[in-house]
Structure 1
């Protein structure tokens, strides 16, 4: 009987954590969302930024077959995890054609955009005011590894000008002309500000959930970074730092992307002009590559600070 009481107690803690009033948007995919919903952007993600195949060719909800980050699932993780891990992948068909634009042959990309049943415009205004925190956990897909000679942009907020309020980068940063490959820090996460300065870096190790929270003060234009591994509570690894090159107001706001965007390597056979056109030209191998995501949500940091894990909130 005591074991049952303890189980119910932990279930109550988890339910209250997930129902927190501070959560503005929740991308921790519940089990009533199916893979078929991904094709219609039903649920927490807009799935239109992809290649020519259906969204479920590139994204998969893994049900109970893979355990999510324990950071939001402590106590009942093995019995009743509260979310599904989502697999995001690219292959040689992952060429996105933006509306009214040219095919992005330089990229291979699959993006999941924060939304509520396809609506994302109004969500931006709610997520991106005052001080908000963008949570996400990432794990390697060792069956479909990345090619670290390339640059990967995997999490970012993208205003209309194509810049990133902040970004998470893996691999070797794109250069023209191409430098030595892979870059010495290619196997590490880099958290970048709007001007592409590295705020925090840490190795991307296998069989580990890497938990991030990026705290954005939209009025003061600062960024702070929180990080942990697996079940460790998030800790502040970069205190609030100016991010002054971002625009204030709507011009500095944009969609929140959970993605796998692979940049090319310069093709020596291209013209000098085309060699610098990273979006439309360059070398891509066309292999299948992937990442796993869980623990994705956005919360207000006011007035109780950042969620550090297991319902604990506060400041450093």
Structure 2
């Protein structure tokens, strides 16, 4: 296994370009809000409500420093990307193509793409062993409601499952238990079967850096994590992810953003109470997260 053979290699790869980057989703300074509107560049911005993409997302320019893991130069350290703000509000009701409005969810997500093409990108980045990098920070002006479940980073095959997932808040249950749950304020890395592989307190004013390693052939996951400028550390050794569908059925789009699940509405019918996509309670508040450092590398190891 990759991590058993070369445990130090991945840390250096996280900070270097020795291994080719097959997808670079870091928002360079020439990326504009107009590009977000048109899904030009490294993202599709179509998973949103009825307003324009820039109603729910924005590029922060030089007003906020991105994760320092990707900075270049010594004195001074020069950022190479902009922070991305992604938010939801009560209009964040997504209508999938050919589907019905998802009234139960509030969601705004970016999908990894190259100038609008995500299908071909998936075939390139979801082979062999892939390292998925991303960094997350709280949006202090738009706090989350931790009584709800939030799915904020995931790879979604066609069956709607997630190869892996970063979760915040209180997992949806029907009926609802005591809320929020004890670890609601922690970032949790889940496998395909929703087992928790790692969790870390979601500390304020801090970049939470992740590298999730997926071996697509052996169907395994490993997790690396750090805060701010600290080097990534192995926090979950290579572990089986056996319930992931095999081959192309297990491949899918990479999403990052804010997907907020509802609370059970006691006035709904029993069948509707379990339909998290279309029913449930949402407060309609403005909530958000900040993202930086999104890129993936494919490792060709023997």
TM-score in same-fold range (> 0.5): yes
Deviation by residue 1:76-131 (Cα, 9 ceiling, x = unmatched): 58663100100000000000000111100000000100001110000000010000
Q: In the alignment, is the contact (CA less than 8 A) between 1:150 and 1:265 conserved in 2? A: yes
Report how many residues are paired: 288
Q: Is the 8 A contact 1:210 1:227 kept in 2?
A: yes
**1:74, distance to aligned residue in structure 2 (A):** 4.9
Instruction: Check conservation: 1:67, 1:77, Cα contact below 8 A.
Output: no
* Residue pairs, 1:253-264, within 5 angstroms: 253-264=251-262
Contact 1:152/1:171, CA 8 A, preserved across alignment = yes
Q: Which residue of 2 aligns with 1:50?
A: 48
Instruction: State the partner residue of 1:242.
Output: 240
Report the Cα distance in structure 2 between the residues aligned to 1:24 and 1:196, rounded to whole angstroms: 27
Give the TM-score normalised by the residue count of structure 2. Answer: 0.93
Per the alignment, residue 233 of structure 1 pairs with: 231
CA distance in 1, matches of 2:46, 2:259: 14
- For residues 94 and 67 of structure 2, what CA distance do their matches in structure 1 show? 30
Counterpart in the other structure of 1:288: 286
- Give the aligned partner of residue 14 of structure 1: none
2:105 is matched with which residue? 107
Q: CA RMSD in A?
A: 1.4
State how far apart, in whole Å, the 2-side matches of 1:210 and 1:294 are: 10
Question: Match of 1:22?
Answer: 20
SS at match of 1:213: strand
Deviation at 1:22, TM superposition (A): 1.6
Task: Measure how far apart 1:287 and its partner are.
Answer: 0.3
In 2, are the aligned partners of 1:70 and 1:77 still within 8 Å (CA)? no
Preserved contact between residue 224 and residue 236 of structure 2 (Cα < 8 Å) = yes
1:119 to 114, 117, 123: 117
1:144-196 residue CA offsets vs partner (Å, 9 max, x unmatched):
00000000000000000000000000000000000000000000011000000
**Separation of aligned partners in 1, 2:112 and 2:16:** 17
Partner in structure 1 of residue 277 of structure 2: 279
Distance in 2 between the 1:25 and 1:170 partners? 25
**Aligned equivalent of 2:37:** 39
3-state SS in 1 of match to 2:47: coil
Structure 2 unaligned segments of length 5 or more: list them: 1-14
Give the drift of 1:273. Answer: 0.5
One of 107, 132, 135 as aligned partner of 2:133: 135
- Post-superposition offset of 1:302: 2.8
State the TM-score, normalized to the length of structure 1. Answer: 0.89
C-alpha separation in 1, matches of 2:109 and 2:89: 13
Partner of 2:175: 177
The 1-side partners of 2:22 and 2:75 are apart by 24
**CA–CA distance in 2 between the matches of 1:24 and 1:298?**
6
SS of match in other structure, 1:48: strand
The answer to whether the 8 A contact 1:131-1:301 is kept is yes
Determine if contact 2:72/2:80 at 8 Å carries over to the other structure. Answer: no
